[in-house]
Amino acid sequence: MLRRNFLITGAGAVVVLAQQKPDEKKPDDTFVAGATQDPTPRVGIVLSSFKQGKDHDGTKIPGLREPQPPGADLTPAQFDAWVRRALDLAALRHSEFFEVIEPEDWIVIKTRSRVDSRIVGGAISYLAEHKRGLRFTVIDRLPQGGDWTQDYRKLVSELGARFPKVRFELVDLNSAATVDLPVAHRPGVTYGIPKIIQQCDRLISIAPLATDPAMGVSLSVGNYAAISSKPVATDEALVDLFSYRPADLALVGGCWGVEGDGTQVHHNVLISGMKAVAVDSVAASVMGFKPVDLPYLALGKKRGFGSWDPDEIWTRGNEIEEARREFKKPAGWRP
């Protein structure tokens, strides 16, 4: 494994210095992450009201100790327990998500505006408490001239105090070093990709339930639009970007979502899994969209990133029907 050191310069830019043993292979700048097939992706659905569920083999899934209605405001303890239950249900039945993370991994968390920083903090704390991950980098492409909110700055400071042997940082992708990379099986197609995306060990994509005027929804795969400095205008381009570093965990939802052309809605639900295409399919179904109407999901399956068909996805926790809340469709979007 690479031993990575980092130098923070300027307005959040990151320079990566890799120290390798003589027999270790150097990173290949032309590497594009490959896809892996999982015939039965698992996706967790956890409303804040979740009381108890059953797995497909009949095993009982414990509910939340203090379940609350989906429209309720949650205490910090209730919120943290809710996030952790979603993480518990993200992995395979007989494993924990943290088990796929190595103690010295560099973990990148892709967030965006309207993501509750407490979800990001809950995911990081969950891994750090299990001594998984030596460096955590929270990334987003901030508006020009923008800066990280006080919530995120406070989060990084508090995590640093709790876990002094682990490094935590915030990086604006506008200032991150990039490398031009080809897309596998797409001759002549290249994108400028942040080296952070290429070189991290694990990537977590965290997004709210949100509609999008062009693509219908913008969920965990939609997060990847921001890794390119150029606007992403097509479903194929979005899947191209996702292919560089498919998410190891997709965590979608929160207390607030976005419907129509930008109206906020209160609906406490978290949807989690290790196959982002499957997670987005379930999340879209919860929002009242038909996955078949979202071309990027079918493209994701075609490229080998897992099934989008709800009938081929094992849900854990709440059922889609229990969690469904019809989101208003964007005015200009047509399936």
CA distances from residue 50 to 16, 53, 64 in whole angstroms, order as listed: 43, 8, 6
Residue 29 resides in a domain: no
Choice between 12 and 80, residue whose per-residue pLDDT is larger: 80
pLDDT tens-digit map of 129-150: 999 999 999 999 999 888 999 9
- Compute φ and ψ for 287, nearest 5 degrees: -80, -5
DSSP string spanning 181-242? EEETTEEEEEEEEEHHHHH-SEEEEEE--BEETTTEE--TTGGGGGGSSS---SHHHHHHHH
Closest-CA residue to 113 (of 194, 222, 188): 222
What is the model's pLDDT at position 209? 99
pLDDT tens-digit map of 296-321: 999 999 999 989 998 999 999 999 99
Does residue 173 register a pLDDT over 50?
Answer: yes
Q: Which domain holds residue 230?
A: 41-323
**Which token pair is 89?**
């249900």
pLDDT tens-digit map of 228-273: 988 898 999 999 999 999 999 999 999 999 999 999 999 999 999 9
What is the model's pLDDT at position 145? 84
Residue 9 resides in a domain: no
**Which token pair is 48?**
């804040």
Please answer whether residues 35 and 246 qualify as being in contact, where contact means their C-beta atoms are separated by less than 8 angstroms: yes
Does residue 32 register a pLDDT over 90?
Answer: no
pLDDT band with cut points at 50, 70 and 90 for residue 16: very low
**Which token pair is 176?**
């991150």
What is the model's pLDDT at position 29? 39
> Which residues make beta-bridge pairs with 178?
194
Residue 33 resides in a domain: no
* Distance (Å, whole) CA 151 – CA 161: 15
What is the model's pLDDT at position 93? 62
Residue 125 resides in a domain: yes
Residue 12 resides in a domain: no
> What's the CATH code of the domain at 246?
3.40.50
Q: Is the pTM of this model over 0.75?
A: yes
Query: 3-class DSSP state for residue 252?
Result: strand
* Distance (Å, whole) CA 195 – CA 218: 24
For the chain, percent helix, then strand, then coil, each to nearest 5? 30, 30, 45
User: What are the residue ranges of helices labelled H in the chain?
Assistant: 76-88, 117-129, 150-162, 195-199, 235-244, 276-286, 295-302, 320-323
Residue 20 resides in a domain: no
Region 16-45 average pLDDT: 50
Residue 278 resides in a domain: yes
Residue 4 resides in a domain: no
Choice between 38 and 157, residue whose per-residue pLDDT is larger: 157
**Which token pair is 117?**
């920083």
Structurally, how many domains does the chain consist of?
1
What is the model's pLDDT at position 58? 86
What is the model's pLDDT at position 35? 46
What is the model's pLDDT at position 94? 64
- What average pLDDT does the structure give for the chain? 89
Does residue 24 register a pLDDT over 80?
Answer: no
